[in-house]
Amino acid sequence: SSDLKWQKIKAAIDREYQWGSSKVGAYRYVGSDIHHRTGSQGNYIMVDQDSYVENLADVEIDPVRFKNAATVLTKSEIGKCRSALGALQWLAVQTQPQICARCNLLLSELAREPKMTVAQEIQQVIRETRKHPHRLRFDRIPSVNHWQQMVVVTMGDQAHNNRPDGSSTGGLINFLGGPELLDGSPGRLVMVSWRTWKLRRVAISSNDAEIQAMVEAEDVNFRTRLLWAELNGAGAEKGLDLLAF
């Protein structure tokens, strides 16, 4: 707030738009609470959905039927399971990567084998998420002094033949880090995106599934690098040159 260049930009934005109440340090945006904090290593941003997690509803199925794992779900019960999964998937996409794959697999199981065991596992995920909700922390990376020093690290993996229809699942986690990573040295990583999905083709082997997953992970890596270049004013043409390099 003491930077003169930023003050000028902020004044121009304030003149352009009409604003309501101003919040400093913390605010809520589409169900996520965003906090600006200061720690022993400097300023950082914390994102959580604790209030959303606290209000997660249980799967609304009759307790007597719910206890019988072999019971086939009724049409109404399938709808209630879909509703509960929808609430969980919003968390999985926004702040809870630890439940991302499970939600994805449960949706497939619900469509193919709608048994009470699926509803029981959905309820288990709800309980675990309430008990241990994750929070995202975005720190400044000390070794990055210029935007071109930022390194994008993407990890991809697969689970072969782990779905009811015999298909496989891919997964990836995407990070930003410092230039020391290029030398194989340890360094701070900031997680910026993640994803799980059903692989497009039925994999004939674990290597086949691995290749499919890594191709998707590589695409995410290149898109992140291009977006970072665009955000720092490189422009699309310059950004593509950087990616080629």
pLDDT, one tens digit per residue, over 137-196 is 999 999 999 999 999 999 999 999 888 888 999 999 999 999 999 999 999 999 999 999
Average pLDDT over residues 194-212: 92
pLDDT on residue 245: 45
Q: Which residues partner with 98 through β-bridges?
A: none
DSSP calls for 139-164:
E--TT--SGGG-EEEEEEEEETT-ST
**What does pLDDT average to over the chain?**
90
pLDDT on residue 48: 94
State the Cα–Cα distance between residues 133 and 16, nearest whole angstrom: 39
Close Cβ partners of 69 (under 8 Å, ≥ 6 residues apart): 115, 116, 117, 120
Average pLDDT over residues 115-141: 94
What share of the chain in percent tops pLDDT 90? 74
241 pLDDT above the threshold of 90? no
Side by side, the strands of the sheet bearing 151-159 are 151-159, 169-177, 189-198
